[in-house]
Every structure is written in C-alpha cells, then in structure tokens.
Structure 1
Amino acid sequence: MAAVVIGGIGVDAARHVQNGAQWPLAALPLLLAGHTLVEAFVWWGLRGDVGDVVQTVATALYLGVAFVVLPVYVPVMVLVLEDAPMLRAVEIVTLVAGVLCAIWLAAALVTEPFTARPEGHHIVYHVHLPAGAVVIALYLVSTCGALIVSGQRFLRWFGVINLAAVALLAWIATDAVTSLWCAWAAVTSAAVAGYLRSAGPATSRGAPASAS
C-alpha cells in the first residue's frame, strides 16, 4: 500500500516537471516507491509467504538501491539543478564521495554475507562493512551533504531535515537505520511533489526562479 501511495505521489511530481533538469528530482519519489515495494517482498519472505530465493534477491536489491544507487543519484540530482560554479565544484566533491561509497558498499554486498530479520515494525539489515565509520561518513556526505550545499533553498532544507532524521533514527534504533531512514525518505516524497507544484520552471543553468 505504501509503495502505491508513494508511486502516486511520484506520478504527480512527474506531471509538474517544467524543465529537463527537474526530472531526476521528480523521479526520486518513483525510485523510492519501487524501493518500498521491494522491501514488501523482503517482509513476505521473512513471513514465509514467498520463497527464500525471492527474499534473498529482494534483500540484495533493496540494499543495492540504498547503498549503491542513492549515494550517486542524490549528488547527480543536485548537480543538474545547480547553476553557481562554486557550488557545483563542492557538489562534484559530494558526487565523488558518493561514487567511492557506492563502490565500497557494492563490494561489501558482493563479497560479504548480508542478512535481514524482522524487529517490531521494521527490518534490521546487517552487512559487514570494513572501516564502517568511513563508509557512513561518505554516505552522509553524498546523500545529505550534497543537498545541504545546494543553491536551492528547498534542497538545503530537504538535506537538513533528512540529516536530522537519520540522526534521530540512529539514536532510537541504530540497527534499523537502513530500513527506517529509507522509509522516512519515501515519506518526504510528498515534499518533492509539493515543491515541483509550486516551483515553476527549473532553476538549472541560470533560471533563478527558486534559488535562494
């Protein structure tokens, strides 16, 4: 049900795109809707409603999107909306951090065992991460930092709120951050759709309508 709702929000966001540079931002809710749908298969596997192979594939896909796709996707999304050369230079640094993070995490998913287990109303994912603190730092730089340094007021607030959310979720349940933060990010899809409804033409490459 959540995936259907988020997907509907994503369709609404896509309907209000007025510039090619807005497409990565508009597509984010659809990406997160698919991500939420994949986790439904993980849940069904943990309950025994689908086979072990389906659960394993769904878990790998869920972690792949969270760990490999998002650290690269978010900085690219910010870059295509950015016009200020200095900010673009900083955002390229966040993209490099995201690429390094994605490679590191992809290697961990391929070479190390990963597990998923239910705990209350969320799933706890476990992947062995050598130098985990470094990976976490790269992940936060790419997924939150890229937003925070954006020249777009909406994206800056989006980044600040998401960073606060991940900090809160880590304090509440450290082992569940992967599941809960991605769920939170999906909820914020409504903010993306609302922004695109009100922003007018994209600000990329010199259109100043929504820059601060």
Structure 2
Amino acid sequence: MCFSPEVDVVAGLAIGAVGIDAVRHVRRPAERLLAAVPLVFAVHQLVEAFVWWGLQGKVPSEVGRVAEWLYLVIAFGVLPVLVPLAVAALEPVTHRRRMQAFVVLGVVVATVLMYALMRGPYTAAIEGHHIDYRVDLWHGGALVVLYVVATCGSLLASEHRHVRAWGAVNLVVVLLLAWLNRSGFISLWCVWAAITSVAIAWHLRHASREPDVEAVALRG
C-alpha cells in the first residue's frame, strides 16, 4: 500500500468498510473510540491519494498542499492522542489512571509535532514507491520514540490480552518499518494501518466472548 494513488484509494475504501464493520460491533460507549480508529485510517489513505495526485500534477497544486497538510495533521495531531485514548477507554475504572500517562504523553507529542508543522517548512516528494514527508522537527528521533511509547505503550499496558498481544506485534512491526525505510516511515505506516484496522474489527467482533474485565473488577 501507499505505492500509488490508486492503491491508496482502494485501501482507503477497504479500510473504511472494515471501519464500518467495527462500528457495527460496538457493544458499549467505551468501544467507540477504538472503532473510530479504522475510519481515521481510511480517511488518511484517501487523503494521501490527493497528495500523490498533487505531486503528479493531476490536481491543482493548492489541493495537493492541503492534502499534504491534512495527512500530516492526522499523523501528527490525531493518532498519537486517539490511540491511547481509545485504549484507555477500554480499561476498567481501577486501571484507567495508569493509562492517563500515555494519553498525556500523546498530547505532548502531538502538540510538539503540530507546532513544528504550523511553523514549517514541510515538504512531500515521491520517492520510488512511497511519499517522503519531511518536517523540520526539534529532536525528531526522540519524538518518534515518544510517539511509539504513547501508542504502542498504551496497547502493551492494557488489561485485555488481545490488545496486549497486538501491542507487542505492533511494536515489532513499527520498529521494523522504521529500520527498513526511515524516510518512508510516515507513509509506509499505512501498510500496517490496514492490518491494524482488521485486528480492531476482529477484536470488537470477539470481545463479547471474553469476560467483561470492568464488571469483574467492580464485582471484586
């Protein structure tokens, strides 16, 4: 994925369908944020199609620049906050306080990244089969690490075994993607976003088979 605008469109529509399925299997309000994640990923994919088209001269340059900005807003300002919030909402009341650290970290990371984006400059360029996004970041390497801690760390700290297991897999894959192609990391992330969306839909479909952790904790 992310290898062409056509692939982005197909992936965006497919992930959107998965997101709709996830929403359909929400059983309680606490699951709504988690179900929203695939829909955000779907929008992300579709927006990147316009980034491609803008860089290829197939849409007005102004449209392409807006798409670049929106793509980075989702990556920088939305996901590092949405993911820990979604995981925290799933937790039993007795364990939500410890999850707030990941939410706060996500907010801090998002704030710093959005400041860098608003300050500029930022660029996007086609590099082979992905788009290379570049933003002038202060201590960019450290920010990437904190980004991963906020997102993957919240998954690993969950009380739900499926979420913890996915957090471990997620961490390995993210590190592998970053190692394989540092310049394409932001763009190639959508490869994993598609698989993550399926995992979220699967979790929501099968969550009813697990004991309600919150209910068990409250009864205890």
Q: Which ranges of 4 or more aligned residues in structure 1 deviate by more than 2 Å?
A: 87-90, 201-205
Q: Which residue type is aligned with residue 107 of structure 1?
A: Y
Corresponding residue number in structure 2 for 1:42: 51
Distance 1:202 1:46, change over 3 A: farther
Structure 1 position 84, deviation (Å):
5.5
Residue-by-residue CA offset, 1:113-147 (whole Å, 9 max, x unaligned): 11111122211110011122331222111111111
Distance 1:45 1:88, change over 3 A: same
Corresponding residue number in structure 2 for 1:63: 72
Distance 1:82 1:203, change over 3 A: farther
* Structure 1 residue matching 2:132: 3-state secondary structure: strand
1:97 corresponds to which of 105, 122, 127: 105
Structure 1 position 9, deviation (Å):
0.6
* Structure 2 residue matching 1:49: 3-state secondary structure: coil
- Aligned equivalents of 1:205, 1:58: Cα separation in 2: 41
Q: Which residue type is aligned with residue 73 of structure 1?
A: L
- Aligned equivalents of 1:84, 1:201: Cα separation in 2: 20
Aligned counterparts, 1:85-124, within 5 A: 85=94, 87-124=95-132
Residue-by-residue CA offset, 1:20-52 (whole Å, 9 max, x unaligned): 111111111111001110001101111111111
Could you state the TM-score of these two structures normalised by the residue count of structure 2?
0.89
Structure 1 position 101, deviation (Å):
0.3
Q: Is the 8 A contact 1:124 1:175 kept in 2?
A: yes
- Aligned equivalents of 1:73, 1:203: Cα separation in 2: 25
Q: Is the 8 A contact 1:81 1:205 kept in 2?
A: no
Corresponding residue number in structure 2 for 1:157: 165
Structure 1 position 89, deviation (Å):
2.8
- Aligned equivalents of 2:139, 2:75: Cα separation in 1: 18
Corresponding residue number in structure 2 for 1:7: 16
Q: Which residue type is aligned with residue 27 of structure 1?
A: A
Aligned counterparts, 1:1-212, within 5 A: 1-83=10-92, 85=94, 87-200=95-208, 206-208=214-216
Structure 1 position 204, deviation (Å):
7.2
Structure 1 position 205, deviation (Å):
7.4
* CA-atom RMSD in angstroms: 1.9
Q: Is the 8 A contact 2:50 2:67 kept in 1?
A: yes
Structure 1 position 207, deviation (Å):
3.2
Q: Tell me the number of residue pairs that the alignment of Structure 1 and Structure 2 aligns.
A: 208
- Aligned equivalents of 2:196, 2:60: Cα separation in 1: 32
Structure 1 position 63, deviation (Å):
0.6
- Aligned equivalents of 2:152, 2:115: Cα separation in 1: 22
Identity %: 48
Distance 1:40 1:204, change over 3 A: farther
Distance 1:121 1:135, change over 3 A: same
* Structure 2 residue matching 1:174: 3-state secondary structure: coil
